[in-house]
């Protein structure tokens, strides 16, 4: 509703909006109209308390953490950065320092984001603007694969990584996929993420690229550009918003992933990312419990920075990509 | 630091090599005849993606299905139905043993009362609308009637899932609770935000959990649910909870006669997921509500409708399709829930779910059993996938 100039009747400004409330005074109406805001902010406080509590706990010395709840800092303030320092560089019991796990997470999340984008951009352009046999059905296959649970791929992928894939036809063995022994290397995880990210990436980028105006392509053709030229100089620059939305979604998906890192990297502790290290700390019971809140925040800092600084793209990618398998 | 440098270098090299081959191949195709070009070029662009998906998604999915029908731990023994019969015959997976208790449970009685209330209100609503002509049918546009009926359905489902136990029932309970509550909460939050000041900041804070990992969320909520004990302080919920402390995640409680609140401890793990997903539902539904043409609302108000009526009879019917999208999306997500259960209880204390069995059997080296449970998840996702594809096809190809 647009707010128009105040009506000339000074003593009953609300009548225009609520003709039925004539007897109700303006002050009562004002109180009532504040109800949604109050309820909403009460819920916001409720929603924020768990994270806020963890943040406060992460800054308290271990002895205090074990003895009393975080809310006691109001009467007994005592803060330290020691937990963060120990978690990052000197965790107890010889576990991997979180500073290293932090880099390991990047080492998986960067290729796990860049590679699928490169592959998907080309495919999305082909599906949107090239004519070839089976295009329709392959694209429906891509849509179907978006919802296929990744649990369906775990065992065969693990076998592919360790043994490769061979096809024996008429006495000759063809190597379809070389026996590279990729298990327990970061590449095992990000290759899997690349494959699982592709259906969504193609879907998102196809939606965007196919909606670009046809005139742009025809004009470029007349100017003598070929498909590769059009793709490189016109499609990629124009598709930047869609690429950014997917990139953020995929990066956070890979960064926050636990299952694939657990399955493909669990025998290699030195390469394991933050999520795996965090759960190790949760289940270790006893040693280093006081570092748990700090460690959790170290694992969340990158997603939170991305969330607060790039929220517009984040929302766009998340909404579009929420059906991912 | 070494890992990162190696990674960056290998990515640059890999992209350089692939890009180089790609550009060179395109140059070669440029020289060929138009016919060759039209045949080959599309596959130059789409080929890498198709190959990737073939090797990592399609062939593996087929192999997993085949594996679920194969004998031996690694599928070396040929076709058999044993994996399926032993999984579905296991009381820990799906059990109908206490089905009689569902009808007599307290929740079932609550559901009955709610259903009667809902139907009576709907009946009266219909009677008022066609006053004088005699009431016909029911009017479910009334807020009270629909809320009572929805609550009745929820109570029935809770009665079913808290009585019938097994991994499959538990996973379905997850779907109902998280999809139901997160959507309802998200809708409520979206409506509230629509009428509030500082809407954006509030929405940002509620949406925030969506950015962090499920593992991180599990740690956050550990400090809400903890019982006082050695090495940990009392969690916030236990502080405000009346009565003796309860281990909300593992279910142990001295207040209960059985010493445990299981299977209701599942509900407290689901709360974590609701905490995360309500923000998602809110953002999607908020966009839908803002998309409802304002002329419709104003016309209804001019006709004398109050705020509740405007929402139930004008706004809600307009956003039904968006609500369906949110519910299906959440259903797909929750059917595969793994991280949260693994990081809170590890599947112990009556909290196991399908994806956790998939992982455990894989770790035990029992690949055929793992594949069977993975295929179960696929079967549950399949109907939703079908609906999604149909909707997308209509949008895209008409």
pLDDT means per 10 residues, chain B with 398 residues, are: 73 81 80 76 87 90 92 84 87 81 82 86 70 58 79 86 87 92 93 85 91 94 84 80 83 77 87 94 89 85 81 86 88 92 88 93 91 94 84 64
Residues of A in contact with B240 (CB under 8 A): none
| C-alpha to C-alpha distance for B289 and A171, rounded to whole angstroms | 64
Nearest CA in chain B to A186: B7
Question: What is the predicted ipTM?
Answer: 0.88
Please, what is the average pLDDT of chain A? Answer: 82
β-sheet bridge partners, residue B232:
B229
Please, what's the b/e burial string for B204-232 (b: 16 or more CB within 10 A of its CB; e: otherwise)?
bbbbbbbbbbbbbbbbbbbbbbbbeeeeb
Nearest to A117 by CA among A247, A248, A252: A247
Model pLDDT, residue A192: 92
Model pLDDT, residue A3: 41
Please state whether beta strands A172-177 and A165-169 pair in parallel, antiparallel, or not at all (unpaired). Answer: antiparallel
pLDDT at A284 over 80: no
CA end-to-end span of chain A: 40
Model pLDDT, residue B380: 93
Cross-chain residue pair B378–A275, CB shorter than 8 Å: no
Instruction: Please tell me the total number of residues recorded for chain B in this structure.
Output: 398
CB A251 within 8 A of CB A113: yes
Nearest to B172 by CA among B27, B364, B337: B337
| C-alpha to C-alpha distance for B191 and A50, rounded to whole angstroms | 24
Distance from the Cα of B178 to chain A's closest Cα (Å) equals: 15
Rounded to an integer, the average pLDDT of A89-113 is 87
Of the partner residues B11, B60, B333, the one whose CB lies closest to the CB of residue A153: B60
Model pLDDT, residue B181: 93
A–B: how many Cβ contacts below 8 A? 326
Please, what's the b/e burial string for A84-97 (b: 16 or more CB within 10 A of its CB; e: otherwise)?
bebbbeebeeebbe
Cross-chain residue pair A50–B221, CB shorter than 8 Å: yes
Of the partner residues A110, A119, A192, the one whose CB lies closest to the CB of residue B49: A119
pLDDT at A17 over 60: no
| C-alpha to C-alpha distance for A251 and A318, rounded to whole angstroms | 11
Cβ burial of B303 (10 Å; 0-12, 13-18, 19+) is exposed
Distance from the Cα of B103 to chain A's closest Cα (Å) equals: 34
Higher pLDDT, B327 or A72: B327
Cross-chain residue pair A39–B192, CB shorter than 8 Å: yes
Distance from the Cα of A37 to chain B's closest Cα (Å) equals: 4
Of the partner residues A47, A132, A306, the one whose CB lies closest to the CB of residue B206: A47
CB B134 within 8 A of CB B300: no
Which H or E run includes A163? helix A154-163
Of the partner residues B7, B216, B234, the one whose CB lies closest to the CB of residue A110: B7
Cβ burial of B283 (10 Å; 0-12, 13-18, 19+) is buried
Residues of B in contact with A123 (CB under 8 A): 45-46, 48-50
| C-alpha to C-alpha distance for B381 and B398, rounded to whole angstroms | 25
Distance from the Cα of B100 to chain A's closest Cα (Å) equals: 34
- Interface probe with B: pick from A40, A167, A255, most Cβ of B within 10 Å: A40
Please, what's the b/e burial string for A18-41 (b: 16 or more CB within 10 A of its CB; e: otherwise)?
eeebeeeeeeeeeeeeeebbeebb
Cross-chain residue pair A149–B41, CB shorter than 8 Å: no
- Backbone φ, ψ for residue B313 (5° rounding): -105, -15
Of the partner residues B43, B211, B230, the one whose CB lies closest to the CB of residue A304: B211
Model pLDDT, residue B140: 67
CB A99 within 8 A of CB A89: yes
pLDDT at A2 over 50: no
Residues of A in contact with B18 (CB under 8 A): 118
Residues of B in contact with A33 (CB under 8 A): 195
Cα–chain-centroid distance for residue B253? 29
| C-alpha to C-alpha distance for B168 and B373, rounded to whole angstroms | 10
Model pLDDT, residue A280: 87
Q: What percent of chain A has pLDDT over 70?
A: 86
Model pLDDT, residue A9: 39
Helix segments in chain B, DSSP class H: 2-31, 34-53, 59-68, 82-88, 99-104, 106-129, 143-163, 167-194, 199-207, 214-225, 236-240, 265-291, 294-302, 307-309, 316-318, 320-335, 339-344, 354-363, 367-397
Model pLDDT, residue B303: 85
Residues of A in contact with B381 (CB under 8 A): 147-149, 325
- Interface probe with B: pick from A50, A229, A290, A321, most Cβ of B within 10 Å: A50
Of the partner residues A37, A53, A307, the one whose CB lies closest to the CB of residue B196: A37
| C-alpha to C-alpha distance for B166 and B104, rounded to whole angstroms | 20
Of the partner residues B42, B215, B392, the one whose CB lies closest to the CB of residue A132: B42
Nearest to A188 by CA among A154, A165, A148, A142: A154
Nearest CA in chain B to A194: B52
Cα–chain-centroid distance for residue B20? 42
Nearest CA in chain B to A131: B42
| C-alpha to C-alpha distance for A177 and A200, rounded to whole angstroms | 24
Cross-chain residue pair B329–A323, CB shorter than 8 Å: yes
Cross-chain residue pair A148–B385, CB shorter than 8 Å: yes
Model pLDDT, residue B302: 86
Q: What percent of chain A has pLDDT over 90?
A: 29
**Residue given tokens 């693990």 in the structure block:** A158
pLDDT at A176 over 90: no
Of the partner residues A44, A51, A192, the one whose CB lies closest to the CB of residue B220: A51
Higher pLDDT, B187 or A183: B187
Nearest CA in chain B to A67: B233
CA angle A300, A303, A307 (to 5 degrees): 130
Model pLDDT, residue B276: 95
CA angle B358, B68, B90 (to 5 degrees): 65
The SS3 assignment for B136 reads: coil
**Its pTM surpasses 0.90:** no
| C-alpha to C-alpha distance for B368 and A155, rounded to whole angstroms | 9
Cross-chain residue pair A130–B359, CB shorter than 8 Å: no
Rounded to an integer, the average pLDDT of A199-205 is 91
Omega before residue B263 within 30° of 0, cis: yes
For residue B235, give both structure tokens. Answer: 């969690």
Name B257's Cβ contacts closer than 8 Å, sequence gap at least 6.
none
Model pLDDT, residue B187: 93
DSSP code, position A93? G
Residues of A in contact with B332 (CB under 8 A): 147, 323, 325
Name B184's Cβ contacts closer than 8 Å, sequence gap at least 6.
none
Higher pLDDT, B5 or A2: B5
Of the partner residues A40, A100, A304, the one whose CB lies closest to the CB of residue B193: A40
Residues of A in contact with B205 (CB under 8 A): 44, 47-48
Residues of A in contact with B182 (CB under 8 A): none
Distance from the Cα of A171 to chain B's closest Cα (Å) equals: 22
Distance from the Cα of B105 to chain A's closest Cα (Å) equals: 32
Distance from the Cα of B162 to chain A's closest Cα (Å) equals: 26
Nearest to B326 by CA among B374, B386, B278: B278
Q: How many CB atoms lie within 10 A of CB B141?
A: 16
Residues of A in contact with B384 (CB under 8 A): 147
β-sheet bridge partners, residue B260:
B252
| C-alpha to C-alpha distance for A272 and A270, rounded to whole angstroms | 6
pLDDT at A11 over 60: no
pLDDT at A13 over 80: no
Residues of B in contact with A110 (CB under 8 A): 7-8, 11
Kindly list the distances between the CA atom of residue B377 and the CA atoms of A148, B72, B153, B173, B335, in Å, as whole numbers in the listed order: 9, 21, 24, 14, 7
Distance from the Cα of B155 to chain A's closest Cα (Å) equals: 24
CB A95 within 8 A of CB A288: yes
Residues of B in contact with A120 (CB under 8 A): 49
């Amino acid at each position: 509703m647009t707010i128009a100039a105040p009506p000339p009747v000074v003593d009953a400004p609300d009548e225009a909006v609520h003709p039925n409330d004539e007897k109700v005074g303006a002050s009562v109406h004002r109180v009532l109209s504040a109800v949604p805001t109050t309820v909403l902010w009460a819920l916001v406080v409720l929603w924020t308390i768990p994270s806020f509590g963890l943040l406060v706990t992460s800054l308290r010395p271990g002895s205090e953490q074990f003895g009393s709840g975080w809310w006691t800092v109001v009467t007994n303030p005592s803060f330290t950065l020691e937990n963060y320092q120990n978690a990052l560089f000197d965790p107890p019991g010889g576990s991997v320092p979180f500073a290293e796990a932090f880099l390991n997470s990047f080492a998986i999340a960067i290729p796990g984001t860049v590679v699928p984008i490169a592959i998907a951009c080309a495919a999305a352009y082909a599906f949107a603007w090239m004519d070839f046999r089976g295009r329709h059905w392959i694209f429906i296959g891509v849509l179907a694969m978006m919802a296929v649970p990744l649990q369906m791929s775990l065992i065969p992928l693990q076998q592919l990584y360790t043994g490769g894939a061979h096809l024996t036809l008429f006495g000759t063995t063809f190597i379809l996929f070389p026996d590279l022994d990729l298990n327990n290397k970061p590449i095992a995880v990000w290759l899997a993420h690349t494959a699982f990210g592709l259906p969504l990436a193609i879907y998102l980028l196809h939606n965007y690229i196919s909606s670009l105006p046809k005139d742009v392509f025809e004009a470029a053709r007349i100017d003598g550009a070929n498909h590769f030229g059009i793709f490189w100089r016109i499609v990629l620059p124009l598709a930047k918003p869609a690429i950014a939305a997917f990139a953020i979604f995929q990066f956070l998906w890979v960064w926050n992933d636990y299952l694939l890192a657990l399955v493909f990297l669990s025998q290699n502790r030195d390469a394991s990312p933050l999520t795996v290290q965090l759960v190790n700390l949760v289940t270790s019971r006893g040693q280093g419990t006081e570092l748990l809140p700090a460690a959790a925040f170290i694992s969340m800092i990158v997603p939170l920075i991305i969330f607060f600084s790039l929220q517009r793209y984040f929302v766009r990618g998340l909404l579009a990509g929420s059906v991912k398998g | 630091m070494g890992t990162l440098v190696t990674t960056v270098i290998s990515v640059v090299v890999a992209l350089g090599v692939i890009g180089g081959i790609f550009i060179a191949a395109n140059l070669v195709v440029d020289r060929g005849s138009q016919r060759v070009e039209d045949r080959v070029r599309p596959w130059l662009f789409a080929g890498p993606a198709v190959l990737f998906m073939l090797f990592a998604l399609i062939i593996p999915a087929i192999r997993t299905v085949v594996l679920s029908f194969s004998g031996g731990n690694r599928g070396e023994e040929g076709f058999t139905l044993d994996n399926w019969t032993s999984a579905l015959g296991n009381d820990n997976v799906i059990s109908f043993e206490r089905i009689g208790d569902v009808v007599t449970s307290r929740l079932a009685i609550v559901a009955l009362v709610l259903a009667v209330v809902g139907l009576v209100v709907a009946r009266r609503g219909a009677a008022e609308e066609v006053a004088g002509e005699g009431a016909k049918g029911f009017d479910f546009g009334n807020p009270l009637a629909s809320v009572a009926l929805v609550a009745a359905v929820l109570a029935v489902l809770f009665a079913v899932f808290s009585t019938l136990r097994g991994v499959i029932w538990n996973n379905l309970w997850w779907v109902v609770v998280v999809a139901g509550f997160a959507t309802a909460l998200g809708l409520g939050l979206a409506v509230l935000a629509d009428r509030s000041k500082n809407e954006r900041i509030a929405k940002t804070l509620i949406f925030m959990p969506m950015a962090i990992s499920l593992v991180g969320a599990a740690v956050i909520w550990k400090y809400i649910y903890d019982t006082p004990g050695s090495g940990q302080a009392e969690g916030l919920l236990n502080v405000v909870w009346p009565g003796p402390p309860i281990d909300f995640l593992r279910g142990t409680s001295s207040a209960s006669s059985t010493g445990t609140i299981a299977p209701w401890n599942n509900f407290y793990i689901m709360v974590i997921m609701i905490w995360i997903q309500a923000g998602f539902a809110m953002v999607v539904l908020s966009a839908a509500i803002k998309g409802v043409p304002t002329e419709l609302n104003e016309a209804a108000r001019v006709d004398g409708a109050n705020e509740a009526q405007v929402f139930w009879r004008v706004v809600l019917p307009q956003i039904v399709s968006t609500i369906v999208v949110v519910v299906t999306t959440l259903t797909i997500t929750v059917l595969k829930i793994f991280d949260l259960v693994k990081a809170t209880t590890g599947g112990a204390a009556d909290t196991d779910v399908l994806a956790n069995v998939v992982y455990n059997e894989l770790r035990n080296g029992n690949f055929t059993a793992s594949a069977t449970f993975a295929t179960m998840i696929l079967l549950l996702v399949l109907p939703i996938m079908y609906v999604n594809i149909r909707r997308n096809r209509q949008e895209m190809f008409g």
